[in-house]
Homo-oligomer: A and B are copies of this chain.
Amino acid sequence: MINIDPRSSIPIYQQIVDNIKESILRGILMPDERLPSVRELARQLTTNPNTIQKAYKELERQKVTYSIPGKGSFISEDFKQRLDEEKMIEIKEILKKCVVEAHYMGVQKDKMLQILQEVYQELEVEENAPN
């Protein structure tokens, strides 16, 4: 389920964090579901338990999961953070970088909008709840 590229410049623990957060969005992981144990996942991914531990702790810090010592790590209830100005700027910054890169590949505005739509479709997330 979790796919890691050890050659990527993105740290392994970060890849795990991203991967799990995406799985939750996809509905593959449900609230209160138990994640593999640190040792178990370490064996699966043939990495060091410390690396998994780091990923799990980061997830817990972000309140994406909660851990019960002696029991395991579990998916939190779905929640929404406060959307403050700072985070809005952060999203915009990443999008801007995306747009700049896209420009150099000849991808223009309407194409980008289309790709964004596709991304949502691939995540199988229908977030446009009817008002």
Please determine whether A127 and B109 come into contact, CB atoms closer than 8 angstroms.
Answer: yes
A81 in contact with B108 given A99-B123, A119-B99 (CB within 8 Å): no
Q: Which of B95, B100, B105, B119 contacts A21 (CB 8 A)?
A: B100
Q: For chain A, residues 56 to 99, give those with C-beta under 8 angstroms from any C-beta of chain B.
A: 61-62, 64, 66, 68-69, 79-81, 83, 87-88, 90-92, 94-99
A68 in contact with B7 given A83-B105, A83-B107, A107-B91 (CB within 8 Å): yes
**Chain B residues with CB under 8 A of A110:** 128
CA distance A66 to B100 in the complex (A): 19
CA distance A80 to B102 in the complex (A): 10
Q: Which of B92, B98, B122, B127 contacts A91 (CB 8 A)?
A: B98
Please determine whether B96 and A108 come into contact, CB atoms closer than 8 angstroms.
Answer: no
Q: Which of B18, B92, B116 contacts A100 (CB 8 A)?
A: B18
